[in-house]
A = this chain, B = another copy of it.
Amino acid sequence: MKPRLAYILPNFFTASSIFLGMLSITKASQGEFVIASWLIMIAMIFDGLDGRIARATKTMSNFGAEFDSLADIVAFGVAPAMLIFFFAGDDFGKFGFLVSALYVIFGALRLARFNSTLAVSDPSVFIGLPIPAAASLIAMGVLFFLNYEYESYKVLFLAIMLFAGVLMVSHIRYPSPKKIKISHRFFYRLLVVLTIVASMLYIYSIEGLALLVLGYVLYGPIRASYYLIKKLFSS
């Protein structure tokens, strides 16, 4: 089966997220941290647009998945790691660099595990924090702290990045937002809620996005703790 022209589009989005990731690294190296952070967030949109459509022939879908995870390690692995390195890590010598490098290694382990165990099927539950969520935690963290001029707490960014790295290689479960099933009645209510959320984001973009990302990242450990405590009390 020959691939149709339409299947080029998702792969073009994937290439675009590599481009944006590389641009983010160069901007971060020039001290333009706000632009560098937003570029990672834009790459996330492109990343969301690819994938699903790209399931044409078996080979094409394998190709798409491989290309996608290579783009992920550039845009959501190396780019946020270099963002933190240039923003904060430089002040902490070898330790600052090590945290950046570990984040990328953990990100690659997460992507390799995901691709090797679930090659083709599309899971509804992620095992470990997905790398785009880890990257957006870092990017929104930088944007949030720059907005409030909290840069003095730079060591905090190393802690955030290490935390995100460990969550990626953990076995903590995260829901796949695309796969959450909702009832018909709830669908319309959700649309209303989403409109309100979008309106809030229009005014408090940075705070709102940072809160959304933080909520998703903390959901995993909180849910896991809840089940752990429940189990302890029931036995």
Chain A residues with a Cβ under 8 A of chain B: 15, 18-19, 22-23, 25-26, 29, 59, 62-63, 65-67, 69-71, 73-74, 77-78, 81-82, 85-86, 97, 100-101, 104-105, 108-109, 111-113, 115-117, 119
CB <8 Å contact, A116 and B66: yes
A22 to B82, CA, bound (A): 9
CB <8 Å contact, B70 and A111: yes
CB <8 Å contact, A112 and B78: no
Select one of B22, B62, B101 contacting A22, CB under 8 A.
B101
CB <8 Å contact, B63 and A112: yes
A166 to B197, CA, bound (A): 45
Query: What are the residues of chain B within 8 A of A77 when measuring CB–CB?
Result: 70, 74
Contact flag A67-B109 (CB < 8 Å), given A29-B29, A29-B86, A59-B116: yes
Most chain-B Cβ atoms within 10 A of its Cβ — which of A65, A66, A73, A77?
A66
Q: Is the interface of A mostly helix, strand, loop or mixed?
A: helix
CB <8 Å contact, A116 and B62: yes
CB <8 Å contact, B69 and A70: yes
Query: What are the residues of chain B within 8 A of A108 when measuring CB–CB?
Result: 15, 18, 67, 70-71, 74
User: Which B residue's beta carbon lies closest to that of A110?
Assistant: B70
Name the distance in Å between A214's Cβ and chain B's nearest Cβ: 26
Known contacts A18-B101, A71-B108; 18 further A-B pairs (Cβ under 8 A): A18-B108, A19-B101, A22-B81, A23-B97, A25-B78, A26-B82, A26-B100, A29-B29, A59-B117, A66-B112, A66-B116, A67-B108, A67-B109, A70-B70, A70-B77, A70-B111, A74-B78, A74-B104
A74 to B25, CA, bound (A): 13
User: Which B residue's beta carbon lies closest to that of A73?
Assistant: B70
A160 to B50, CA, bound (A): 31
